[in-house]
Structure 1
Amino acid sequence: MLTLDETHEPELVNPLALNTLGLYNTRKPTWEEIEKSSPHFAEAILAMGETGREMIQLSSTPAGKQLLVLVNSVKIGGHPVKIITFQDIEPEIEQKEMESWQTISRIMAHEIMNSLTPLSSLTETGIMLLEEEGEPKEVGSISQNTIDNLYTALKTISHRNQALTQFIGNYRQLSRLPLPQKKEIRVTDLLAEIEELYKVPCAKKGITFTLHPSPKKLSIQADDSQVKQVLINLVKNATEALEGLPDPRLNLVVKRILNQVSIEITDNGSGIPDEVLEKIFVPFYSTKPTGSGIGLSISRQIIRNHGGQISVQSKEGEGTTFKVALPVKKSF
């Protein structure tokens, strides 16, 4: 932990903070020394202003430690004081990444074997239909029934090959997500486009679609097409969850919470079971018969690349809310 006065000079710094920032031989560093030792940290603190929460990678350590940094401001004796707490979360990140990759590996192995096993079996069946005592049959000795069976086997092989190709394509899409090309976006304009896309389709399905007013001057620094992709995916999922239900309603609400914009997509559907909820962002996990299982995984990665978070709350029989939190565009 460290505290800064109104001129950004450190007042209190504990030893753990000094070690984390690479200031091993300093009792009480100046702000200039912090900027020199950990420029990324110093830059992020200035950018966050009075309050904020951000992940920062330190350049002052060989491995580039990942820090979770929290900034709050208070007045002590009439003077503003900025309180900064930070924690090295690299071990937790590595553990979570390992668990995620283990899960992905299991799913990929399962999906690939689901295709390869029948492909191998059907290939052997086709060979058996066309050979006799280890030699190819004469064309004239092949019956119509054998031709029909071989045709069925080849069609099945083709279908499984297409499914495997699509699975690999989905994996490539997930692993090659481009970094966001950010620009200033007004939140009202962004959500107006989502409303325009879905108000007619929702009306046709009998879904009451409500976009609640948001502050007109609220802006984010984001990749327009990527954030739209996330919101479209979430709204599409919500409309599918409402199909066939009485009095279906879908609400979009925007809130400003400290230095973040929170966009909430809420439906009054049947909700998501707990066992599904805990896996909902796992790549390739899907409860839909034709689902790829990458939509929410990609959405989470996009929002993380913007320095934000995506979360979900759901209760069976009551509905589901997805929350997309993105940093407010800072004014300097």
Structure 2
Amino acid sequence: MLKIENSLLALLIIGTLLGITYPIRLEHPTLFIIAEVVSVITSLWLLRLYFFVSKPLKELGNAINLLANKDFQSRLLPTPHPVVNKLVVVFNKMVNQLHKERVEQREQSYFLEHLLKATPHGILVLDYDQKVIQSNPIILQILELEFNSIKGKTFTEIENPLLSEINQLALNQVKDIQLSGGRRYRCQKSSFIFQGFQQQFIIVQDLYLDDIKKEKQAYSKVIRMMSHEVNNSVGAMNSYLDTLKLFSPADQELKTDYLEALSIVKSRNSAMAEFMKNFASVVKIPEPNLENVNLVKILQDLLEIYHTDFNDNHIKILNKLPNELLVLADKSLLEQLFINIFKNAKEALLEVDQTDRTLEISYNEESNKLSIWNSGPIISKEAQEKIFTPFYSSKPTGQGIGLMLCRDILIKHDWDFRLFSGLKEGATFEISL
């Protein structure tokens, strides 16, 4: 455009001079020659002016393109125009600084990204509107959610019990939150300034495995010692009782009472030994021998074993399992796990009317969760928080070992789980395979 305008201006000036002097070229030849010389000088001057202006303008156009394309690696060339040349120097310095800051920002971003992935705690980053914009794999594992399902949403828009509790935290508050299944999380809500605005981030620390490790350190040694002492004492007492049988009274009536009393004492000793054996079994759970097993077949075999017992107690079974469900697990440990779950479900169902006794087993392929629901009494919120605590039982004669055994077996398989009462009432044992 500048080239065309410059050419038109040159033609206008030359044409005007020649148009004025051409008719008088014969009367005033000198004036006509001067007009031609001036025309040539004007053309050369306009040509010089064009090159003097067009190159700086071209460099300025390049600068605009570089900024528009976010190209901070290219630089502008010096120009003959002193003012524009100063602008080029300032622009190059600015681009150098922008490039340096951009590299530093990218390095910090990569470092932060790797730090989030490597940290053992769950982290969520929120924007100015309290919507999720970033997370790490640990928090997604804790929440059992995909990032795409929570991205751009507030905590109130996400159905998750842990996020519902976190949403109630005040800024810079640290709180331990315990959920169904004994899971305990230490949660903290903090903030930082980004681009002049405050943003929040959440740190979630899973205390569950640490709690279990401390629990086992506390009770395993005591259980072993108690089991050793009780078994030794019971063995010695039973030996003495067998010896005392040799000194039974001659009187037949007294002899019968005497032997019956010894038998009762020996029976109580055996019950005590069995009682301690149950406690010791929790400490001695072996490491799982993992192999591909059909979980559906294991459950169906156990249901067949319990069929008569369930039928005699008017318990209706709803089997909603697929034909096959392969998992990497220890078959014997899984059998022990589900035996305890069915036993607890049966005991719960005996507390309700015969017409309302239902046990439903289902599998959700989308969430990869196995659910065992019974129509027994609901579990209170307080019980849900304590139900997997060692030796805790809501039953008057319970030892608190069955669910503790289930918990340890599931942890050894790295399967998440919870026992709760939802909208369906009753109780649901949910296992994330």
TM category (shorter chain) comes to 0.5 to 0.7
Is 1:252 the counterpart of 2:361 in the alignment? Answer: yes
The letter for the 2-side match of 1:184 is N
RMSD of aligned C-alpha atoms?
5.4
The letter for the 2-side match of 1:176 is K
The letter for the 2-side match of 1:308 is W
Shift of 1:285: 3.4
Kindly indicate whether the alpha-carbon contact (under 8 Å) linking 1:104 and 1:283 is maintained by their aligned counterparts in 2: no
Quote the Cα distance in structure 1 between the aligned partners of 2:140 and 2:390: 30
Kindly indicate whether the alpha-carbon contact (under 8 Å) linking 2:319 and 2:360 is maintained by their aligned counterparts in 1: yes
Change in Cα spacing, 1:168 to 1:187, as seen in structure 2 (3 Å) is: closer
**2:314 aligned counterpart, secondary structure:** coil
Kindly indicate whether the alpha-carbon contact (under 8 Å) linking 2:375 and 2:426 is maintained by their aligned counterparts in 1: yes
What residue number does 1:270 align with? Answer: 377
The letter for the 2-side match of 1:12 is Y
1:303-318 equivalences in 2 (<5 Å): 303-314=410-421, 318=425
Is 1:12 the counterpart of 2:12 in the alignment? Answer: no
What residue number does 1:232 align with? Answer: 339
Kindly indicate whether the alpha-carbon contact (under 8 Å) linking 1:212 and 1:251 is maintained by their aligned counterparts in 2: yes
Quote the Cα distance in structure 2 between the aligned partners of 1:154 and 1:307: 48
What residue number does 1:222 align with? Answer: 329
CA deviation string 1:88-120 (max 9, x = no partner)? 65x7643554357657899999999xxxxxxxx
Aligned length: 251
What residue number does 1:294 align with? Answer: 401
1:60-99 equivalences in 2 (<5 Å): 72=147, 89=206, 93-95=209-211, 97-98=213-214
What residue number does 2:430 align with? Answer: 323
- Radius of gyration: which is bigger? 2
Quote the Cα distance in structure 1 between the aligned partners of 2:263 and 2:302: 41
Quote the Cα distance in structure 2 between the aligned partners of 1:109 and 1:94: 23
Kindly indicate whether the alpha-carbon contact (under 8 Å) linking 1:281 and 1:300 is maintained by their aligned counterparts in 2: yes
Change in Cα spacing, 1:219 to 1:272, as seen in structure 2 (3 Å) is: same
Is 1:183 the counterpart of 2:291 in the alignment? Answer: yes
Change in Cα spacing, 1:100 to 1:224, as seen in structure 2 (3 Å) is: closer
Shift of 1:69: 11
Quote the Cα distance in structure 1 between the aligned partners of 2:256 and 2:315: 48
TM-score norm. by structure 2 comes to: 0.43
Change in Cα spacing, 1:252 to 1:71, as seen in structure 2 (3 Å) is: closer
1:29-68 equivalences in 2 (<5 Å): 53=141
| Counterpart pick for 1:283 among 390, 400, 405 | 390
**1:189 aligned counterpart, secondary structure:** helix
TM-score norm. by structure 1 comes to: 0.54
The letter for the 1-side match of 2:412 is N
**1:251 aligned counterpart, secondary structure:** strand
Change in Cα spacing, 1:98 to 1:205, as seen in structure 2 (3 Å) is: same
* Higher helix content, 1 or 2: 2
CA deviation string 1:231-253 (max 9, x = no partner)? 22212221222226232111111
Kindly indicate whether the alpha-carbon contact (under 8 Å) linking 1:271 and 1:316 is maintained by their aligned counterparts in 2: no
Shift of 1:211: 0.4
Q: Which runs of 5+ in 2 are unaligned?
A: 1-108, 120-135, 152-201, 229-246
Quote the Cα distance in structure 1 between the aligned partners of 2:271 and 2:347: 23
What residue number does 2:305 align with? Answer: 197
Quote the Cα distance in structure 2 between the aligned partners of 1:19 and 1:314: 34
The letter for the 2-side match of 1:17 is L
- Kindly indicate whether structure 1 or structure 2 has the higher relative contact order, using CA contacts under 8 Å at least 6 residues apart: 1
Change in Cα spacing, 1:52 to 1:205, as seen in structure 2 (3 Å) is: same
Is 1:167 the counterpart of 2:278 in the alignment? Answer: no
Kindly indicate whether the alpha-carbon contact (under 8 Å) linking 1:107 and 1:284 is maintained by their aligned counterparts in 2: no
Kindly indicate whether the alpha-carbon contact (under 8 Å) linking 2:223 and 2:280 is maintained by their aligned counterparts in 1: no
Quote the Cα distance in structure 2 between the aligned partners of 1:196 and 1:151: 41
Q: Which runs of 5+ in 1 are unaligned?
A: 1-10, 22-44, 55-67, 77-84, 113-138, 327-332
CA deviation string 1:27-74 (max 9, x = no partner)? xxxxxxxxxxxxxxxxxx9xx9xx9738xxxxxxxxxxxxx9997579
Change in Cα spacing, 1:294 to 1:17, as seen in structure 2 (3 Å) is: same
* Higher strand content, 1 or 2: 1
**1:278 aligned counterpart, secondary structure:** helix
Identity of aligned residues (%): 25
Quote the Cα distance in structure 2 between the aligned partners of 1:264 and 1:149: 52
Change in Cα spacing, 1:161 to 1:187, as seen in structure 2 (3 Å) is: closer
